[in-house]
């Protein structure tokens, strides 16, 4: 089983390609998740491989206001990408649970990117590829789908006016 996702995140991870190996468990409530210590009762292995595929509004010091990241999951935990990206300091744009504190970063963006971020109605995450072995035939089944229109519009706005 292979799954790949595209995510638009705040900032730019220091390493352009990496592996996040951080166990996940319940946060204070029943729905949210958090990175946990390995010896926590509810900690479950969670591994995400990521690669920055595009940077927006990059500065001379190498930082960026936002980036598109491709994520491949080795495990499949609830909210795994959202929690892992927030854990390394780069939450998904539009994520109300794990990235709300970053919402004011939109003020650093030029128009039309600022407006696009402020009106984006969800977390900027899209499952674009799924591959698995067919259980009966053993044939490799591979499916891909393009990034949806709302994320394409967000990305186009982030590109606009970028140096």
- The tens-digit pLDDT sequence of the chain (163 residues) is 899 999 999 999 999 999 999 999 888 776 788 888 888 888 899 999 999 999 999 989 989 999 999 999 999 998 999 999 999 999 999 999 999 888 899 999 998 899 999 999 999 999 999 999 999 999 999 999 999 999 999 999 999 866 5
Calpha distance 41→136 (Å, rounded): 37
What are the pLDDT digits (tens) for 23-66? Answer: 998 887 767 888 888 888 888 999 999 999 999 999 899 899 99
The total number of structural domains in the chain stands at 1
* Structural domain harbouring 105: 2-161
Instruction: State the CATH number of the domain containing residue 9.
Output: 3.30.2350.10
14 and 44 Cβ atoms separated by less than 8 Å: no
- Between CA 38 and CA 134 the distance in angstroms is 34
Bridge-based pairing of strands 33-35 and 47-58 is unpaired
pTM comes to: 0.92
């Amino acid at each position: 089983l292979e799954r790949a996702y595209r995510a638009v995140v705040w900032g730019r991870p220091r390493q352009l390609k990496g592996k996040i190996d951080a166990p996940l468990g319940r946060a204070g409530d029943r729905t949210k998740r958090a990175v946990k210590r390995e010896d926590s009762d509810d900690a479950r292995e969670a591994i995400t491989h990521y690669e920055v595929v595009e940077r927006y509004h990059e500065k001379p010091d190498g930082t960026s206001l936002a980036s598109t990241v491709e994520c491949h999951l080795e495990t499949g935990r609830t909210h795994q990408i959202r929690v892992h990206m927030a854990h390394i300091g780069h939450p998904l744009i539009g994520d109300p649970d794990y990235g709300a504190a970053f919402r004011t970063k939109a003020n650093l963006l030029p128009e039309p990117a600022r407006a696009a971020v402020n009106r984006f109605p969800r977390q900027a995450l899209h499952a674009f590829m799924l591959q698995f072995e067919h259980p009966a035939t053993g044939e490799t089944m591979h499916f891909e789908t393009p990034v949806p229109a709302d994320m394409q519009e967000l990305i186009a706005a982030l590109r606009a006016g970028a140096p």
